[in-house]
């Protein structure tokens, strides 16, 4: 069983939005003693968020602006984080965009935008951190998919989103298979309805009640629910779990 170094870093993409899963994840992991690498679009916001995290939790944190849809930008950002922080042990691919456009109104540019960010972005970040993890022979990668991939939509976002998030599950399984021999695990989390802005803005109580009707628990999810699941899957104790998709969805999709 491979053990983690005493000082370890988790990189989180899409981590600056106050109400987002990425930001909740960064807070949760920093509270557990992880050093934090932040990647998001706005470099200044990444740096200020990292400063806040370091001050609040007493860990090392560093932020770099990058567009996950641009491979050179992602590689450069991770190079910088690796130079500034302790060994990269974990990556949480959280960055993503929603897309509520109906299939018959869908333009090629929207299709490409959603797949480039939600699927290619996961690949680009994974591909780069895998190089370092293989060298160190330890790693944990967690990708955010969606119940939308498993149910064919039926959520706020429609076809290109579902396709990209289904691709994330395929990418998770294939990379888990290829990277396993280096003691790297790769898993996906499939959230159900979570109260974030990706659901089309802050959810009203009425909308929450409507969404809860489909669940077996009596509330929609919080960003902390997902952060806790990410923390579990990147923990030292989760080394025998790989290639899996963990649904954190209030029982919306049972499989």
Q: Can you give the pLDDT at residue 103?
A: 97
Q: Can you give the pLDDT at residue 200?
A: 59
Q: What is the CATH number of domain 9-248?
A: 3.40.50.720
pLDDT digits (tens, 9 = 90+) for 67-97: 999 999 999 999 999 999 999 999 999 999 9
Q: Identify whether the C-beta of residue 132 lies closer than 8 Å to the C-beta of residue 146.
A: no
Spell out the domain ranges in the chain: 9-248
**Virtual torsion, Cα 40, 43, 45, 49, nearest 10 deg:** 70
Percent of the chain with pLDDT over 70: 98
Is pLDDT at 203 greater than 80 in this prediction?
no
Is pLDDT at 236 greater than 90 in this prediction?
yes
Is pLDDT at 136 greater than 80 in this prediction?
yes
Confidence of residue 199 (pLDDT cuts 50, 70, 90): low
Catalytic, out of 103, 161, 240, 253:
161
- This prediction's pTM: 0.96
Q: What are 126's two structure tokens?
A: 């994974």
161 carries an active-site annotation: yes
Is pLDDT at 135 greater than 90 in this prediction?
yes
Q: Can you give the pLDDT at residue 126?
A: 99
pLDDT digits (tens, 9 = 90+) for 19-75: 999 999 999 999 999 999 999 999 999 999 999 999 999 999 999 999 999 999 999
Label each residue of the chain as H, E or C.
CCCCCCCCEEEEECCCCCCCHHHHHHHHHHHCCCEEEEEECCHHHHHHHHHHHHHHHCCCEEEEECCCCCHHHHHHHHHHHHHHCCCEEEEEECCCCCCCCCHHHCCHHHHHHHHHHHHHHHHHHHHHHHHHHHHHCCEEEEEECCHHHHHCCCCCCCHHHHHHHHHHHHHHHHHHHHHHHHCEEEEEEEECCECCHHHCCCCCHHHHHHHHCCCCCCCCECHHHHHHHHHHHCCHHHCCCCCCEEEECCCCCCC
Query: Which segment of 94-98, 140-144, 160-164, 204-208 scores lowest on mean pLDDT?
Result: 204-208
What rounded mean pLDDT belongs to the chain?
95
Q: Can you give the pLDDT at residue 187?
A: 99
Label each residue of 78-95 as H, E or C.
HHHHHHHCCCEEEEEECC
Q: Can you give the pLDDT at residue 255?
A: 84
Q: Which residues fall within 8 angstroms of residue 95, CB to CB, at 6 or more apart?
A: 13, 14, 22, 39, 40, 68, 117, 121
C-alpha span between 247 and 253 (Å, rounded): 8
């Amino acid at each position: 069983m491979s053990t983690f170094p005493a000082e370890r870093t988790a990189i989180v993409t899409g981590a600056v939005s106050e109400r987002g899963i990425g930001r909740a994840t960064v807070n949760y992991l920093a509270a557990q003693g992880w050093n934090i690498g932040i990647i998001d679009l706005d470099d200044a916001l990444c740096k200020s968020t990292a400063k806040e995290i370091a001050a609040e939790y007493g860990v090392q944190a560093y932020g770099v602006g990058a567009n996950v849809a641009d491979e050179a930008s992602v590689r450069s950002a991770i190079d910088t984080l690796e130079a500034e922080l302790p060994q990269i042990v974990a990556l949480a691919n959280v960055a993503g965009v929603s897309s509520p456009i109906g299939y018959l109104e869908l333009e090629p540019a929207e299709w490409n935008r959603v797949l480039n960010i939600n699927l290619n972005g996961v690949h680009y970040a994974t591909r780069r951190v895998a190089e370092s993890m293989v060298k160190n022979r330890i790693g944990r990668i967690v990708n955010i998919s969606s119940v939308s991939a498993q149910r064919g939509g039926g959520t706020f976002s429609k076809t290109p989103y579902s396709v990209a998030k289904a691709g994330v599950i395929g990418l998770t399984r294939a990379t888990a298979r290829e990277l396993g021999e280096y003691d790297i695990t790769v898993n996906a989390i499939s959230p159900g309805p979570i109260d974030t802005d990706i659901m089309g803005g802050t959810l009203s109580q009425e909308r929450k009640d409507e969404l809860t009707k489909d669940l077996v628990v009596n509330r929609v999810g919080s960003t902390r629910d997902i952060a806790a699941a990410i923390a579990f899957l990147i923990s030292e104790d989760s080394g025998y779990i790989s290639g899996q998709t963990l649904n954190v969805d209030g029982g919306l999709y049972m499989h």
